[in-house]
């Protein structure tokens, strides 16, 4: 078997037969490549199982299944974790890698060396992790209490401490926010200490501060509020107390104080911890004569080992050397299938779950060790996967819930599991009253619930999501990861899998899922293979993109729990690092009320000298510009001088600097700032990681080191952004505007230095010219003719210019563009040379339609093809050897309508256009989406008038640009693109991004209907008009219509992924490739192709000359090759 599938019908189309039904057994398709891969995985696993004692493992599995909820015959021994080795807490330490740290409030428990047990509830921290053997661990950490600081008011003495504690206790009690769990005092202690605020340089050193320790973390907020309002202190009146570090999470506070970072290894020393046992200890002869033996504190989680320890006895190992390793984590990827109704997105109240497929991977191994398909109704066997079938949906759901508890995954992944799969399963189980289903976390008896959440940033906008609680397990939804980390044209699983893996989903469309389920065991087998592949692809993406490794290293570098990286923004990572550094120097972080503030001037962009450069252009780049500026000039909260402070403190001019924005900071000779120290540590650690990476040969360790150096780089660059966030934990306009001020000054100085040194007067053949500069880089034309000479001069100039700036600021040679097309600010293209002077690495485009996502693929492909002709072909001639829910994207196309109708009124669902053969407004695409982008790239070459004359001249009758031309022709005269015979309409559409609430339950299906659509962002409340565009006021709010807002035109959602197959493109002429009928190619574009590819206008219009001068142009212009797998 060669692994190829024979071409079949397109997506959503049943296979054609001369006679018989769709479900006849004798017409099964040959196995796909994925099915062969599954069989190969099974062969490899079988060899491994020969070395195992499955009977012993099965016994351990049966002991781990609660209350016999699943029959022994349904359990595979491989599901369970390895049996924990014998462990004596008195003589052996417990060492594990922690993945997640949280806290709960519960009764006090006895621990070795701990204080006497107190009445009432206490906060207990909980660390979940895995040992080197793959055993799951839960560690309960006792004795740590929340606290914060406040400056002691003038005249405060030690004798005032007791009075303040009593008054604050009374105030909290009167506040009536203590709750039933608080039976003792709210304030455990008030202590006097010496600390200093990190905000500003004051010159007087530490001053008296009060450390206030509370009984419960939730009491910090009311205590802070009451202190700010004022507390009576005998002899001092009712002073107000400013809070410091009162907005720090309890988990972060603990991790900072104990030097624990995210995902590092923890050690519980021998004799310092106790192990919890299960309620039933052991069977032994005569046990019936004795009362049941139970541990004083039985296990409360599903973890194999459960320990209790005092917080001060926990040993934290820094993630260096052997402690950089990653434990054999269990990763589970799953996908579900639902039998929805035609044209309606599945609803958990009505539509059943028919299949749940899961793949399990032990981190560090090559292939999944577990491949499970749970199906509703019988399913034919699948080689390489275990199939279990159920007659009742309730049994199917309960089986998967039990499987989760038996397999006990550390990480759960999938595609859109956060907003669809997990909420759907829980809601469906609730509908069917499967009471034992929603216990998916590691804490026994704790239900998994669904809550709404939102995330907002300048990069991604606002996204409303759902969060399913699964305490002790880390959820990594690959869709959410990709939305945050990558800018893609389409985020469907099919599109991203093809982009990153070169693979696609199995050839099953959502429109036939219900039919396959209602068929026979063979059709349900086909559906199960499809579902297994949908679970396999996210697992492949997780590995290929090193998502887990990078997240672990980022947690280690920034010191936050792993879950914070997935659910929180950037600021908490900087806060964690800032607190750690401040603690060592006796500095405290104030609580700042931020409500936004004035903006500041950003980076400099040197006015570009637009044009086409047929000579090499060298690019010089400042390495880590903003971090190096902060280090070089000691810019920090702790070094900031308020206006007039330098004179009051008696500082001399050599003890402080004045930035280009007029702000003042003390130099390192007076005090070295916290932020420069943090940045130095990050960048030096990155240098060490890169050096280790260069020498390392082990693939897994190389992944860890590469993830670490990337995390260190990202973390260093985020420090500047933290100071500039006006609505944040600790904004400081003086730092952020000073950094950009120095950056602008450096770019201008670099331009002046280069143009003053590299001149004819100084012995160079040509005077250098900086043709463009942006933020941290400058593009220099040295006037040389070869790339090698430009590289040599670029390195020389970078070294020379670096000597004019203070350390560690360094200008580096980065690359050479040859040739180079500079259109305007932030918009350019060129062939990029960086590794070798004789071969370009790639064609690099910035800001052009070739890389933008808000144009249809036809535009991007045409611009890319044009740039390749301009850049690569000219290069080759010179040297032949060198050549819908919130945030979703909704596809639409512009259809023909009466003259003067707004574009948004003419938008329509591409699938609806195909099904009803609606004519597309070709003139809109030609004039608005093709002509303008092409003008932008040709104007610098041909000149404004010449380019416009070539591209926009008036057409003749019969042309698209002319009244009576093809733009207004009836449907039967239109090209194939407009007649619904191909998906070019769906492929060449645009998308709107919903940046506000979208109530339609079918939003997700509409959003994923076309894989290759370009995108634009739409903000404001949005809803669907059921029969046509309507004003918001004309729609009554209801389940499908939110309060009045922006009304979109009628887009009719279809089943997820329902797109007709691509037809084979016409290979005989250029005109049909663009969807143009023979003889009517638009005269507005004919001269362009005539000048670019040497075709006559007559030849283009008649469709002649396609095969010779322009081989391969059809794919470049967007005509996809025929493929049975081409679909969303």
- 701-747 residue pLDDT tens: 788 888 888 888 888 888 888 887 766 788 888 999 999 999 999 99
412 forms beta bridges with: 332, 475
At 888 the pLDDT is: 54
At 458 the pLDDT is: 56
- Residues 6 or more apart whose Cβ sits within 8 Å of residue 899: none
- The answer to whether residue 886 scores a pLDDT higher than 50 is no
Residues in the chain, total: 1128
Span 161-211, pLDDT tens digits? 999 999 999 999 888 654 556 678 899 999 999 999 999 998 888 999 999
At 562 the pLDDT is: 92
The CA-based dihedral angle spanning residues 679, 682, 684, 689, taken in that order and rounded to the nearest 10 degrees: -160
Give me the chain's average pLDDT, please: 75
Mean pLDDT over residues 248-274, rounded? 95
Q: Confidence band (pLDDT; 50, 70, 90) for 855?
A: low
Does the fold of domain 592-820 match that of domain 84-282+291-328?
A: no
- The answer to whether residue 117 scores a pLDDT higher than 90 is no
Q: Confidence band (pLDDT; 50, 70, 90) for 499?
A: confident
Distance CA 620, CA 755 (A): 13
Region of 670 please: left (phi>0), alpha (psi -120 to 50) or beta.
alpha
Decide if domain 84-282+291-328 falls under CATH 2.40.50.730.
yes
Span 201-238, pLDDT tens digits? 988 889 999 999 999 999 999 999 999 999 988 888 88
Q: What is the CA radius of gyration of the chain?
A: 33
Domain residue ranges in the chain? 84-282+291-328, 329-545, 592-820
- Residues 6 or more apart whose Cβ sits within 8 Å of residue 656: 641, 646, 664, 665, 666, 667, 670
- The three-state secondary structure class of 644 is coil
Distance CA 358, CA 348 (A): 20
Distance CA 421, CA 336 (A): 6
- The answer to whether residue 246 scores a pLDDT higher than 80 is yes
At 162 the pLDDT is: 92
CB distance 886 to 996 below 8 Å? yes
- The answer to whether residue 936 scores a pLDDT higher than 80 is no
Distance CA 272, CA 665 (A): 48
CB distance 421 to 398 below 8 Å? no
Residue 883: C-alpha distances to residues 816, 818, 841 (Å): 15, 11, 10
Determine what percent of the chain is predicted with pLDDT higher than 70: 69
What is the DSSP code string of 1026-1083? SSS---GGGS--BTTB-SS-EEEP-----STT--PPPPPPP-S-HHHHTT--TT---T
The domain 592-820 is placed in CATH, from the list 3.90.1600.10, 2.60.120.10, 3.40.50.620, 2.30.29.30, at 3.90.1600.10
pTM, rounded to two decimals: 0.72
Q: Confidence band (pLDDT; 50, 70, 90) for 496?
A: very high
Mean pLDDT over residues 899-903, rounded? 69
Q: Confidence band (pLDDT; 50, 70, 90) for 61?
A: very low
CB distance 1009 to 1054 below 8 Å? yes
Distance CA 170, CA 315 (A): 38
Mean pLDDT is lowest, of 364-378, 501-515, 924-938, 951-965, for: 951-965
Determine what percent of the chain is predicted with pLDDT higher than 90: 40
Span 1066-1114, pLDDT tens digits? 333 333 333 333 333 344 444 434 444 343 333 333 333 333 333 333 3
Burial 963-983 (b: 16+ CB within 10 A, else e): eebbbbbeeeebbbbbbbebb
Domain topology for 329-545: Nucleotidyltransferase; domain 5 (3.30.420)
At 922 the pLDDT is: 78
At 875 the pLDDT is: 52
- The answer to whether residue 127 scores a pLDDT higher than 60 is yes
- The answer to whether residue 1061 scores a pLDDT higher than 80 is no
- 140 phi, psi to nearest 5 deg: -90, 120
CB distance 608 to 940 below 8 Å? no
- 334 phi, psi to nearest 5 deg: -140, 165
Mean pLDDT is lowest, of 448-457, 664-673, 1003-1012, for: 1003-1012
Using alpha carbons, select from 826, 849, 822 the residue that is nearest to residue 932. 849
465 forms beta bridges with: 453
- Residues 6 or more apart whose Cβ sits within 8 Å of residue 647: none
The CA-based dihedral angle spanning residues 1018, 1019, 1023, 1026, taken in that order and rounded to the nearest 10 degrees: -30
Q: What angle do CA 209, 210, 212 make, to 5 degrees?
A: 150
At 953 the pLDDT is: 56
Q: Confidence band (pLDDT; 50, 70, 90) for 842?
A: confident
At 666 the pLDDT is: 94
Q: Which two tokens stand for residue 978?
A: 């407009």
- Residues 6 or more apart whose Cβ sits within 8 Å of residue 862: 930, 933, 934, 1116, 1117, 1118
At 820 the pLDDT is: 86
Distance CA 834, CA 838 (A): 10
Mean pLDDT is lowest, of 30-34, 93-97, 334-338, 686-690, for: 30-34
Q: Which of 32-46, 578-592, 593-607 reaches the highest mean pLDDT? A: 578-592
Residue labelled with tokens 């192709």: 1089
In this structure, the number of other CB atoms found within 10 A of the CB of residue 88 comes to 9
Using alpha carbons, select from 932, 930, 934, 907 the residue that is nearest to residue 920. 907
Mean pLDDT is lowest, of 83-92, 684-693, 1032-1041, for: 1032-1041
Q: Confidence band (pLDDT; 50, 70, 90) for 963?
A: very low
- Residues 6 or more apart whose Cβ sits within 8 Å of residue 41: 367, 368, 371, 384
What is the DSSP code string of 940-972? HHH-HHHHHHHHHPPPPTTSTTSTTSGGG--GG
Span 539-595, pLDDT tens digits? 999 998 889 998 998 899 899 999 998 878 778 889 999 999 999 999 999 998 765
- The answer to whether residue 685 scores a pLDDT higher than 80 is yes
Handedness of CA 62, 66, 70, 76 (dihedral sign): negative
Using alpha carbons, select from 393, 430, 125, 403 the residue that is nearest to residue 252. 125
At 167 the pLDDT is: 92
At 119 the pLDDT is: 73
């Amino acid at each position: 078997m060669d692994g190829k599938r024979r071409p079949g019908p397109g997506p959503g189309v049943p296979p054609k037969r001369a006679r018989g039904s769709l479900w006849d057994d004798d017409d099964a398709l040959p196995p796909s490549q994925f099915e062969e891969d599954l069989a190969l995985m099974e062969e490899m696993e079988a060899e491994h199982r020969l070395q195992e004692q499955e009977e012993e493992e099965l016994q351990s599995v049966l002991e781990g299944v609660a209350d016999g909820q699943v029959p022994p015959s349904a359990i595979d021994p491989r599901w369970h974790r390895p049996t924990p080795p014998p462990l004596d807490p008195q003589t052996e330490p417990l060492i594990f890698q922690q993945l997640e740290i949280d806290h709960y409030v519960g009764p006090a428990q006895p621990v070795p060396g701990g204080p006497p047990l107190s009445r009432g509830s206490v906060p207990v921290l909980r660390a979940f992790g895995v040992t080197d053997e793959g055993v799951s661990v839960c560690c309960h950490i006792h004795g740590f209490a929340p606290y914060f600081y406040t400056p002691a008011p003038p005249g405060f003495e030690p004798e005032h401490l007791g009075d303040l504690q009593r008054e604050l206790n009374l105030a909290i009690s009167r506040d009536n926010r203590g709750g039933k769990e608080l039976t003792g005092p709210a304030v455990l202690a008030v202590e006097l200490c010496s600390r200093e605020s990190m905000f500003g340089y004051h010159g007087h050193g530490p001053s008296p501060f009060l450390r206030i320790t509370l009984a419960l973390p939730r009491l910090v907020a009311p205590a802070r509020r009451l202190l700010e309002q004022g507390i009576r202190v005998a002899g001092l009146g009712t002073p107000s107390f400013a809070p410091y570090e009162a907005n720090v999470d309890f988990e972060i506070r603990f991790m900072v104080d104990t030097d624990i970072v995210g995902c590092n290894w923890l050690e519980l020393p021998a004799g310092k911890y106790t192990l919890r046992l299960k309620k039933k200890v052991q069977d032994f002869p005569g046990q019936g004569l004795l009362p049941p033996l139970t541990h004083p504190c039985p296990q409360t989680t599903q973890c194999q080992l459960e320990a209790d320890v005092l917080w001060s006895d926990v040993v934290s190992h820094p993630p260096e050397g052997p402690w950089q390793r990653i434990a054999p984590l269990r990763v589970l990827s799953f996908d579900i299938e639902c039998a929805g109704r035609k044209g309606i997105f599945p609803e958990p109240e009505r539509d059943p779950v028919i299949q749940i497929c899961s793949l399990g991977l032990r981190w560090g191994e090559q292939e999944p060790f577990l491949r499970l398909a749970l199906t509703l109704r019988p399913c034919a066997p699948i080689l390489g996967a275990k199939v279990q079938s159920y007659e009742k949906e309730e049994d199917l759901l309960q089986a998967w819930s039990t499987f989760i508890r038996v397999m006990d995954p550390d990480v759960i992944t999938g595609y859109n599991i956060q907003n669809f799969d997990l909420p759907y399963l829980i809601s469906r189980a609730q509908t069917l009253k499967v009471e034992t289903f929603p216990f998916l976390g590691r804490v026994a008896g704790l239900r998994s619930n669904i809550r709404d959440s939102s995330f907002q940033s300048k990069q991604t906008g606002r996204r409303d999501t759902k969060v399913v609680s699964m305490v002790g397990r880390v959820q990594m939804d690959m869709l959410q990861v990709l939305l945050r980390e990558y800018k893609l044209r389409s985020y469907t699983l099919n599109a991203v899998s093809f982009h990153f893996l070169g693979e696609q989903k199995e050839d099953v469309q959502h429109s036939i899922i219900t039919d396959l389920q209602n068929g026979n065991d063979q059709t349900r087998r086909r559906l199960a293979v499809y579902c297994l592949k949908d679970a396999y692809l996210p697992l492949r993406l997780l590995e290929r993109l090193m998502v887990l490794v990078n997240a672990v290293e980022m947690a280690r570098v920034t010191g936050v729990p792993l879950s914070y990286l997935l659910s929180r923004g950037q600021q908490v990572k900087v806060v964690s690092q800032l607190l750690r550094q401040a603690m060592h120097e006796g500095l405290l972080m104030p609580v700042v009320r931020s409500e936004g503030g004035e903006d500041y001037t950003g980076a400099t962009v040197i006015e570009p000298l637009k044009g086409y450069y047929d000579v090499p252009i060298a690019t010089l780049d400042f390495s880590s510009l903003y971090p190096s500026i902060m280090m070089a000039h000691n810019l920090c909260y702790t070094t900031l001088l308020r206006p007039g402070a330098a004179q009051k403190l008696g500082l001399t001019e050599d003890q402080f600097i004045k930035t280009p924005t007029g702000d003042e900071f003390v130099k390192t000779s007076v005090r070295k700032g916290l932020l420069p120290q943090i940045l130095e540590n990050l960048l030096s650690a990155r240098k060490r990681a890169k050096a280790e990476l260069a020498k390392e040969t082990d693939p897994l360790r190389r992944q860890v080191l590469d993830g670490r150096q990337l995390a260190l780089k990202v973390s260093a660059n985020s420090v500047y952004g933290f100071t500039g966030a006006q609505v944040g934990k600790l904004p400081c306009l003086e730092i952020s505007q000073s950094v950009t001020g120095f950056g602008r000054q450096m770019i201008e100085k670099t331009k002046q230095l280069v143009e003053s040194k590299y001149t004819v007067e100084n012995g160079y053949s040509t005077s250098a010219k900086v043709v463009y500069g942006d933020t941290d880089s400058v593009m220099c034309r040295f006037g040389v003719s070869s790339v090698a000479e430009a590289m040599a001069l670029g390195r020389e100039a970078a070294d020379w210019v670096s000597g004019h700036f203070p350390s560690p600021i360094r200008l580096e040679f980065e690359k050479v563009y040859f040739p180079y097309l500079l259109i305007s600010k932030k918009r350019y293209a060129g062939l990029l040379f960086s590794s070798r002077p004789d071969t370009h690495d790639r064609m690099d485009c910035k800001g052009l339609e070739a890389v933008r996502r808000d144009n249809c693929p036809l535009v991007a492909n045409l611009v890319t093809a044009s740039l390749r002709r301009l850049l690569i072909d000219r290069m080759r001639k010179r040297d032949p050897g060198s050549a819908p829910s919130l945030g979703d994207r909704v596809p639409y196309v512009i259809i023909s309508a009466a003259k003067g109708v707004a574009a948004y009124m003419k938008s329509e669902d591409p699938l609806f256009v195909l099904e009803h053969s609606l004519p597309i407004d070709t003139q809109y695409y030609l004039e608005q989406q093709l002509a303008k982008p092409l003008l932008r790239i040709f104007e610098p070459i041909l000149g404004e008038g010449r380019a416009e004359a070539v591209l926009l001249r008036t057409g003749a009758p019969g042309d698209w640009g002319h009244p009576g031309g093809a733009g207004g022709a009836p449907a039967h005269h239109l090209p194939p693109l407009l007649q619904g015979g191909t998906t070019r309409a769906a492929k060449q559409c645009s998308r709107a991004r919903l940046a506000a609430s979208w109530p339609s339950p079918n939003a997700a299906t509409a959003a994923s209907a076309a894989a290759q659509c370009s995108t634009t962002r739409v903000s404001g409340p949005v809803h669907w008009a059921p029969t046509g565009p309507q004003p918001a006021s004309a729609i009554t709010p209801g389940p499908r219509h939110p309060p009045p807002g922006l009304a979109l035109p009628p887009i009719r959602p279809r089943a997820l992924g329902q797109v007709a197959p691509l037809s084979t493109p016409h290979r005989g002429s250029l005109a049909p490739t663009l969807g143009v009928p023979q003889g009517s190619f638009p005269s507005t574009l004919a001269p362009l192709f005539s000048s670019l590819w040497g075709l006559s206008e007559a030849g283009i219009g008649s469709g002649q000359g396609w095969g010779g001068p322009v081989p391969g142009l059809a794919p470049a212009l967007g005509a996809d090759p025929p493929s049975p797998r081409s679909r969303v």
